[in-house]
Structure 1
Amino acid sequence: MAIEAVTDERPCPWSGTALAFVESYAGKIVIGAAISLLLIPVRHRPPEPLLHSVLSVATPLLTYLSAEPLHVSGVLAVVTCGLVTTRFGPRVIGSDARIQVIAF
């Protein structure tokens, strides 16, 4: 957006630019938070603690692959997913599963 503002001969519409910037970040954050909130109940009480290790590897990949087709940054979606999972995950993920994931 900055390069276009400098190189374009027309005046830059700042209201449209600001709206596009907010929409871009909002989409990434919503995708990351939604996937995290969908997977936290799945991680609540799986029968096998090893499943938590698989989910801890698969969650970022799933988040990234969900964000990219929507043309939003998968990296920011993964960071958001990690932050939400870190905030709410310990309330529902058992201690045995957390020990397994840390060891993994």
Structure 2
Amino acid sequence: MRSVLFMAALAIGSINVSHAQAAAPSPAGQNPSPTQMSPSGTTGSIAPNKASSKDVDAAFARSDTNKDGKLDRKEAENLPAVAQRFDQIDANHDGFISREEFNKAAGA
């Protein structure tokens, strides 16, 4: 669950967006093997999404619009996956997500 939350958060708030090039479609009547098909249904090689602690920090910093070192519910709306699980991530139930709570939820 942490991975899903983290990947969703980064996908929504990503700094750099890169586009993969799709390979030429396969000849009629031939379906690409599952190992060649990307999640979007196109063929080709797409690098796995690997987020570093630097990426996690960047996502938090972008969302912390008032720069107080924590996310309130409004700031968490910048990361929908975080907003949906706000109460779970807010481990001490103080109404804010600290950087430590955010990192723990992200598995960083």
Same fold per superposition (TM over 0.5): no
Normalization by structure 2: what TM-score?
A: 0.27
- Give 1 or 2 for the bigger CA radius of gyration: 1
